Structure 1
Amino acid sequence: MATLTFDSLNPATGEVVGTHPKQDATAVRETVGRAEEAAAWWAALGPAGRRRRLLDYKAVLAGRLRELAALVHEETGKPVGDAALELVLTITHLDWAARNADKVLRRRRVRTGMIGVNLEATLEYLPLGVVGVIGPWNYPVFTPMGSIAYALAAGNAVVFKPSELTPGVGVRLAELFAESVPERPVFQAVTGLAETGAALAADPRVKKIAFTGSTATAKRVMAACAENLTPIVAECGGKDAFIVDADADVRAAADACLWGALSNAGQTCVGVERVYVVDAVYEPFMRELSERVASVKAGQDYGPITMPGQLDIIKRHIDDAVKSGRTVAGGPGSVRAPYVDPVIVEDVPEDSPAVREETFGPTITVRRTRDAQEALELANASTYGLAGTVFSRNTRRAMELARLMRSGMTAINSVISFAGVPSLPFGGVGDSGFGRIHGADGLREFARPKAIARQRFALPGMNLTSFTRRPEELERLIRIVTFLHGRRKR
């Protein structure tokens, strides 16, 4: 029986980039079986053995950076330069995960407190086993490797199901890992459509799923995982806000706003979609924004819409926005498949789909606010909570706004800068998902805490966990606790 296949296409040209198998549930089970065996070997290598091999993998990726960037360009349509930047960030994160995993996860002693004075307590983080990663198409290297690299560094084997729009990138990442670690299939890719991802999520031998995609799809993946109580880290969509305070550098803010909104054709989960500008700087900011957007061209500065079905959502949002708002740039005619020209609309009602729903296109809505407090309230009035941006020259004020913004990450006087800091965790709240990748939290996300308490000596006259315990021993304990904790603080 012939194996069913599917093609990956260049979204800009429609040309076939590659042909890949639709791997069914049987193929996924076999892959997970190999991963389960490899996981035991990978965990037994210990931190030093894994670190050396991961740094080898990093070197291989760096050596093939141009090749990989060209493949990302072909499968997503994004400019080669943007693809190269994605790979640079990936390599940086892989390096950090490899070098810091032992320090973050190793066994350490923890305080026992007065009641456990006769105990020694240790905490360490152990590998889960097999981790399944279901990746997106918009950043087909950086985003999934934010899970893959950290899961590998934590001692797990990985089975990666890339998006059906960018399968070649996922397959190549696994192939290059095999060049670095030829001994066992520690990192494998499976290709296919939604059924392939569902089979991976449903396999009870997979001890955690890392999913990136829409909120609706995340719920379906969670339902599949629930059958086996498989935990999941979900990085879903966003409707990220950009606040421009009264003392902001409007030139820098406009420049960052446009890049955050239009780069990768707006197909960025942490991209700018809603802009709130304090009245005092609204007019100069809009002048800067209008002047700068005139020189940004679809098909030149950014690529096409990778997923054809997204064009309908983008058009619906634009049509709704221009009915009630004022068009600054672009409009309904900006959608010319597979490209969308930049669209900026002012004064769109907050209950509009263009403000409430994730657009995932090169569009932004802009609203004037009385002050930064109103901007913050509007920014937080969303079911999403992934990331955001604050522009202000007042460091203290900017930090306050950033802390109060309901998001997992916030950039100040820059845009999306947190993604380039490997030690910072990445993830959201609300409809943007839960769990974290990157940083120490990302390493711990793919490990299980192991707590051990060892009795060093018996407490004389205090054998509390025994049926031979005497009433006076319990009374002694009560007196100690009352003395230590019974006084109220005033």
Structure 2
Amino acid sequence: MVSTADSRTADPDSLGPAAPRPTAGFPVDDEETVRGKVARARKATSWWREIGHEGRRSRLLEWRRLMARRLPEILDLLERENGKVRADAVIEMTAALAHVDWAARNARRVLARRRVPSGLLMVNQLATVEYRPYGVIGVIGPWNYPVHTPLGSIAYALAAGNTVVFKPSEYTPAIGRWLVDTFAEAVPGRSVLQLTTGDGGTGAALCTSGVDKVAFTGSPGTGARVLAACAPTLTPVLLELGGKDALVVAEDAHVPAAVEAALWGGCSNAGQSCAGIERVYVADPVYDEFLTLLARRAREVRARTDFGPITMPGQLEVIRRHIEDALSRGGRAVVGGPESVAPPYVTGPVILADVPEDSAAVREETFGPVLVVNRVMDAAEGVERANDSAYGLGAAVFARRRAGELADRLNAGMVSVNDVLTFPAVPALPFGGRGKSGYGRVHGADGLREFAMPTARTRKLFDVPLAVTTYARGARDMARLEGLITWLYSR
């Protein structure tokens, strides 16, 4: 992370990637400012907890209603500040609102106190477990899905009873402010959701500000720095990092459907999706058909119309490097090539074939509308190659007869069968990965529990004849206990 800037003097403009005109001016909050916002959020925690699940449910649903009623505002902002085409913006908001709704409606069921079995040895104890909020959660959001992704932490953290200090990406602060402002309309007069803006220094300050947990979404490199910043205070961290997701196309797959899924999974949002498809392994019997049809369809997809610009200027060089490296190692460009990288766009999908497995385009996250399509002997080899990655976020498989078996063998946190990128839009499903893709989960019941601490309780109901957890016990009591455990556990 970069060094902290002074919030009293810094006033950067928020610029859209395709139309570099200011959306708004925002301060770069320094450490003192961030700590002040955390302190205000801390003061609001008691009230937010005391209103209970039903109180939080009603307010979160009102927030959802406000955002839905003002949908044209945020869609316009996603287009202007983030550069999304309208269709991508609508899809993002559809999923985001569904998650706010699910978290609000299900928090009580998932987190409320429940009774658990005490076991024969503790039969006189009433055992319960409940999930209590941490306190203040720091959320550091990304720029590629500046509404859906941070709400996957914010909405679930709020539903679990926490307050939140939210730092949006420095590329999308106006979108972050819109989220916080609409929440303030739904929950007026309370500092339950606070906004802090700035660059990496502001994010570093949030990590060391005294928050009770940090939820970060971004690159593995920055995630490692977030983890290091939180380590001295043992602040727990949720990391949702990058991916190099693969699609396996089996010998008996429905090829046209697999082609459409690959193209969408690789190019939607200009390929700037951590769970987007970047590698495709196609079984030899259908490889030629797949590649021919994919090339035909890819030539019909265009930037500006079907997807927007590349948000981070530096990512264009990564995309170009991956394409050039693949070609220099013997890969071939079926559609597009290095000339497709025309700032701020990749002008259309780039389809690469026969790319060596040790090339950057296969091993590293490209984060652009580039698909590597490689031939494999069969789906089993495709799964083997898909698993040969430092990442483990999502994956997909197209098959008829053995789809479930192939999906079970994919080492990923999420798998789509005969479709792609479906799991982020299912609110009840957990979202997260393994390896360089991070750890922890957002969304679903696991996402709610990620922002709450399990708390165990026992309550003595009656005395038992065999009293051993007391110094009033006798030798006969311990002998009877030995006999009992032998009888229980040696059978």
The question of a shared fold, defined as TM-score above 0.5 by the shorter chain, is answered with yes
In the alignment, is residue 477 of structure 1 matched against residue 484 of structure 2?
Answer: no
SS of aligned partner of 1:5? coil
1:345 and 1:365 in contact (8 A); partners too: yes
Deviation string 1:183-237 (CA, Å, 9 cap, x unpaired) is 3110111000111111111122x11110000001001000111111111110000
Identity of aligned residues (%): 55
Residue 309 of structure 1 corresponds to 314
1:387 and 1:410 in contact (8 A); partners too: yes
In the alignment, is residue 250 of structure 1 matched against residue 255 of structure 2?
Answer: yes
Matching residue within 423, 428, 441 for 1:423:
428
Q: How far does residue 15 in structure 1 lie from its aligned partner after superposition? A: 1.5
SS of aligned partner of 1:254? helix
Q: How far does residue 243 in structure 1 lie from its aligned partner after superposition? A: 0.6
Structure 2 unpaired stretches of 5+: 1-6
Deviation string 1:292-351 (CA, Å, 9 cap, x unpaired) is 001001122111100001111111101001121021111111111111131111111111
Q: Distance in 1 between matches of 2:169 and 2:16?
A: 14
TM normalised by structure 2 equals 0.97
4+ runs of 1 displaced by more than 3 Å? none
Residue 355 of structure 1 corresponds to 362
Q: Distance in 2 between matches of 1:273 and 1:370?
A: 20
2:31 and 2:209 in contact (8 A); partners too: no
SS of aligned partner of 2:26? strand
Matching residue within 121, 144, 156 for 2:162:
156
Q: Distance in 2 between matches of 1:276 and 1:429?
A: 21
In the alignment, is residue 241 of structure 1 matched against residue 249 of structure 2?
Answer: no
Q: How far does residue 468 in structure 1 lie from its aligned partner after superposition? A: 2.3
2:261 and 2:420 in contact (8 A); partners too: yes
Deviation string 1:120-165 (CA, Å, 9 cap, x unpaired) is 0000001111000000000000000000000000000010000000
Matching residue within 76, 82, 86 for 1:76:
82
SS of aligned partner of 1:164? coil
Q: How far does residue 105 in structure 1 lie from its aligned partner after superposition? A: 0.3
**Counterpart code for 1:283:** D
Q: Distance in 1 between matches of 2:408 and 2:63?
A: 37
Residue 192 of structure 2 corresponds to 186
Give 1:285-304 correspondences, 5 Å limit: 285-304=290-309
Q: Distance in 2 between matches of 1:377 and 1:472?
A: 60
Residue 452 of structure 1 corresponds to 457
Give 1:60-459 correspondences, 5 Å limit: 60-204=66-210, 206-323=211-328, 324-340=330-346, 341-394=348-401, 397-459=402-464
Q: How far does residue 8 in structure 1 lie from its aligned partner after superposition? A: 1.1
Q: Distance in 2 between matches of 1:94 and 1:77?
A: 24
Q: Distance in 2 between matches of 1:136 and 1:160?
A: 11
**Counterpart code for 1:375:** G
Q: Distance in 1 between matches of 2:106 and 2:33?
A: 34
Deviation string 1:374-409 (CA, Å, 9 cap, x unpaired) is 000000000000001111122xx1111112111110
Q: Distance in 2 between matches of 1:268 and 1:95?
A: 23
Q: Distance in 2 between matches of 1:3 and 1:33?
A: 22
Q: Distance in 1 between matches of 2:43 and 2:373?
A: 53
Q: How far does residue 44 in structure 1 lie from its aligned partner after superposition? A: 0.8
**Counterpart code for 2:37:** T
Cα RMSD of the aligned pairs, angstroms, is: 0.9
1:66 and 1:84 in contact (8 A); partners too: no
Q: How far does residue 2 in structure 1 lie from its aligned partner after superposition? A: 4.6
**Counterpart code for 2:251:** A
Residue 6 of structure 1 corresponds to 12
SS of aligned partner of 1:309? helix
Q: Distance in 1 between matches of 2:323 and 2:446?
A: 38
**Counterpart code for 1:44:** E
Query: What is the aligned length?
Result: 483
Residue 4 of structure 2 corresponds to none
2:8 and 2:27 in contact (8 A); partners too: no
Q: Distance in 1 between matches of 2:189 and 2:338?
A: 55
Q: Distance in 1 between matches of 2:233 and 2:51?
A: 28
Matching residue within 40, 55, 58 for 1:52:
58
**Counterpart code for 1:381:** D
Q: How far does residue 3 in structure 1 lie from its aligned partner after superposition? A: 3.3
Q: Distance in 1 between matches of 2:287 and 2:271?
A: 23
373-382 vs 72-81, greater mean Cα deviation: 72-81
**Counterpart code for 1:476:** R
